[in-house]
Amino acid sequence: MNRLLFLSLAVTSVLAQAQQCRARASWPTEKWPEALVNPTAKAAELKALEDYAFTLVGKPEERKGYRTNALVVVKNGAIVYEKYARGWDASGRQLSWSVAKSVSSTLAGVAVQQGLMNLDDSVCKHLPEYADDPVVCAIAVKHFLTFGSGLQWQEEYEDKGYQVSSVIAMLFGVGHKDQVRHVLTHRKLREPGTQFVYSTGDAHVVGALAKKALTAKHGPDAFWTQLFEPIGMKNVVFEEDLAGSPLGGSFVYATARDFAKLGYLMLNDGCWNDQRLLPVGWVQRATTPSETFRANRGDCSGATLPANEFQLPCEGTPNGYMWWLNRPPADGVEKPWKDAPDDTYAALGHWGQRIIVIPSEDLVIARNGDDREGSIPVNELVKLVLPLVRP
Amino acid sequence: MTKTLLTASLAAALLGTGCAQDDAKLRTYDNNDLELAVGNAAKMNCTCRFVMLRDEAYCADWVRASPNVARFAVDEANKTVVGTAFVSWTAKARYVDDKHGCVLE
């Protein structure tokens, strides 16, 4: 009997610890504390970082190189480095591009934490206007959250021409007025959850699902009252289409300091100021390669398909719940960011938008830019920031 | 009976093959470049001006796309942007509010 009681108490204690939030001396809800690195002691490290991230090349209209707008580094809960360029300052809202996908994922987590949505829910539970469509209703929330809807999608930009891009048609073309409908009326190509297909469309649906779930209880400003405001993201803009669906794969705007707060929420296991905003275990699952990714990460055979066929890229960076992970994508394959710690994960967007989180370093890096030639590599950025913030 | 079954199996196999090939085909969308260009010009300029609060020169460079055929007109008072190309092609974006930014109409 005593043994049973002891076991029961031990289990209860472990569960309580799992649900507890990490203690912090302060939370940056109103303002980030600052503990800037010593510019003299770290002169060489600062120069190396700034030469890499802030040196403009060519004429502005040529849009060459890494064109950083903002770089904010948060270590142990305080800003240790911050710099702006190209006419930007701390108050400027930056375009997220696909960092929005990680924002949408987090909003879905808030809905799950509040019991308003379950990852196994059919999409049709939250979007009842599709209740007559058996293909859509067979897809669960978790499938969209892991880029595994199974619906046809061509995340093309310019390589094969604008007319074959599902995403450009959605944002600016035939699908722009009702973008969730554009996604959900694509035909089924695979069983849900069996193939990772990076899709701005899937992320749009996650945003729409989160909105439906949260606004039903909290009203139209639920994204702000339930996530952005509690963590001090004060000036977030989340754009919508004409049908009122959030454009959760592409169009969120916030300051670099505020994007760092989203990373800080993840770093703190979904807790903020002793309040749990994300479910216990959510961050762990969001930053572990998803079942969909592990099932099939694309065409890694090396074969080239004919030009009139769509070839899925072989994805070399694992993905959890719309967060990119520094894990080997398969046995015998190297992790994507070789100089970054294994526990590094990131929200990544077009033109070099980045929120990089490294729990083992208690570190968040938020970077916004306008890299038209190719986005600034995560590996190089981390490699240059680590010596700056380490003793 | 066996012959019928064989024929049916063959037909099913061929149909199956046909579907598989069809599934792999690249889908095309009924958009032309001008339609996409004016949509991009209107939406992104609206966002650049009224959400990111950049000036006209910054936005003109930021939105410039290839092919660079779209022109745009900003209505500061009503917070709208109209993108045009070769007279016939137009798109309009309008600023909604400080939470929802711009929408492409």
How is A54-119 classified by DSSP, letter by letter?
H--BS-GGG-BS--EEEEEEEETTEEEEEEE-TT--TT--EE-TTHHHHHHHHHHHHHHHTTS--T
Residue B39 has pLDDT above 60, yes or no: yes
Across the interface, do A251 and B47 touch by the CB < 8 Å criterion? yes
Residues of A in contact with B39 (CB under 8 A): 171-173, 176
Assess if residue A10 is contained within a domain: no
Which range has the worst mean pLDDT, A52-61, A297-306, A332-341?
A297-306
Assess if residue B60 is contained within a domain: yes
Per-residue pLDDT, averaged over B36-63, amounts to 96
B52 CB near a chain A CB, below 8 Å? yes
Assess if residue A137 is contained within a domain: no
pLDDT of res. A4: 58
Across the interface, do A158 and B24 touch by the CB < 8 Å criterion? no
Assess if residue A203 is contained within a domain: no
pLDDT of res. A3: 63
Assess if residue A168 is contained within a domain: no
Number of domains in chain A: 1
Assess if residue A109 is contained within a domain: no
**More confident call, A160 vs A38:** A38
Residues of A in contact with B101 (CB under 8 A): 237-239, 251, 253
Residue B4 has pLDDT above 80, yes or no: no
Assess if residue A48 is contained within a domain: yes
Give the pLDDT band (50/70/90) at residue A306: confident
**More confident call, A75 vs A14:** A75
Across the interface, do A237 and B51 touch by the CB < 8 Å criterion? yes
Across the interface, do A162 and B104 touch by the CB < 8 Å criterion? no
Residues of B in contact with A165 (CB under 8 A): 29
pLDDT of res. B21: 43
B97 CB near a chain A CB, below 8 Å? no
Alpha carbon separation from A96 to A100, A249, A253, A266, A385 (Å, rounded): 6, 9, 6, 17, 21
Across the interface, do B52 and A92 touch by the CB < 8 Å criterion? yes
| CA–CA gap between residue A255 and residue A99 (Å, rounded) | 13
CA distance A310 to chain B (A): 5
Question: Which residue from B28, B40, B61 is facing A172, i.e. has the nearest CB?
Answer: B40
Assess if residue A6 is contained within a domain: no
Q: What is the DSSP secondary structure assignment for residue A232, as one 8-state letter?
A: T
3-state secondary structure of B25: strand
Assess if residue A362 is contained within a domain: yes
Assess if residue B15 is contained within a domain: no
A157 CB near a chain B CB, below 8 Å? no
Residues of B in contact with A169 (CB under 8 A): 29, 31
Which range has the worst mean pLDDT, A55-69, A183-197, B6-20, B61-75?
B6-20
Residues of B in contact with A157 (CB under 8 A): none
| CA–CA gap between residue A381 and residue A186 (Å, rounded) | 38
Across the interface, do B51 and A93 touch by the CB < 8 Å criterion? yes
Q: What is the CATH number of the domain that holds A238?
A: 3.40.710.10
Q: Which of A174, A212, A5, A33 is nearest to B27 (CA)?
A: A174
A330 CB near a chain B CB, below 8 Å? no
Give the pLDDT band (50/70/90) at residue A129: very high
Assess if residue B26 is contained within a domain: no
| CA–CA gap between residue A98 and residue A107 (Å, rounded) | 15
Q: Which of A127, A161, A146 is nearest to A324 (CA)?
A: A146
- The range of the structural domain enclosing residue B53 comes to 32-104
Per-residue pLDDT, averaged over A30-44, amounts to 98
pLDDT of res. A162: 86
Which range has the worst mean pLDDT, A171-180, A266-275, B10-19, B79-88?
B10-19
* Phi and psi, residue A72, nearest 5°: -125, 130
Across the interface, do B24 and A309 touch by the CB < 8 Å criterion? yes
Assess if residue B94 is contained within a domain: yes
3-state secondary structure of A349: strand
B4 CB near a chain A CB, below 8 Å? no
Assess if residue B71 is contained within a domain: yes
Residue B17 has pLDDT above 60, yes or no: no
Radius of gyration, CA atoms only, chain B: 24
CA distance B3 to chain A (A): 32
pLDDT of res. A327: 98
Assess if residue B6 is contained within a domain: no
Across the interface, do B62 and A164 touch by the CB < 8 Å criterion? no
Residues of A in contact with B43 (CB under 8 A): 171-172
Residue A268 has pLDDT above 90, yes or no: yes
Residue A198 has pLDDT above 90, yes or no: yes
Residue A7 has pLDDT above 80, yes or no: no
Residue B23 has pLDDT above 90, yes or no: no
Across the interface, do B99 and A94 touch by the CB < 8 Å criterion? no
Per-residue pLDDT, averaged over A109-137, amounts to 98
Mean pLDDT of chain A: 95
Residues of B in contact with A95 (CB under 8 A): 47, 52
Task: Give the pTM.
Answer: 0.92
pLDDT of res. A294: 97
Number of domains in chain B: 1
- The range of the structural domain enclosing residue A56 comes to 24-99+210-389
Across the interface, do B101 and A251 touch by the CB < 8 Å criterion? yes
Residues of B in contact with A155 (CB under 8 A): none
Residue A299 contacts residue A312 (beta carbons within 8 Å): yes
**More confident call, B14 vs A249:** A249
B45 CB near a chain A CB, below 8 Å? no
A172 CB near a chain B CB, below 8 Å? yes
Size of interface A-B (CB pairs under 8 A): 103
* Phi and psi, residue B44, nearest 5°: -75, -35
Give the pLDDT band (50/70/90) at residue A14: very low
pLDDT of res. A315: 97
Assess if residue B54 is contained within a domain: yes
pLDDT of res. A271: 98
A169 CB near a chain B CB, below 8 Å? yes
Residue A319 contacts residue A329 (beta carbons within 8 Å): no
**Largest alpha-carbon pair distance within chain B?**
79
Across the interface, do A242 and B27 touch by the CB < 8 Å criterion? no
Residue B2 has pLDDT above 70, yes or no: no
CA distance A6 to chain B (A): 52
Could you report how far apart the first and last alpha carbons of chain A are, in Å?
A: 52
Question: Which residue from B25, B36, B54 is facing A173, i.e. has the nearest CB?
Answer: B36
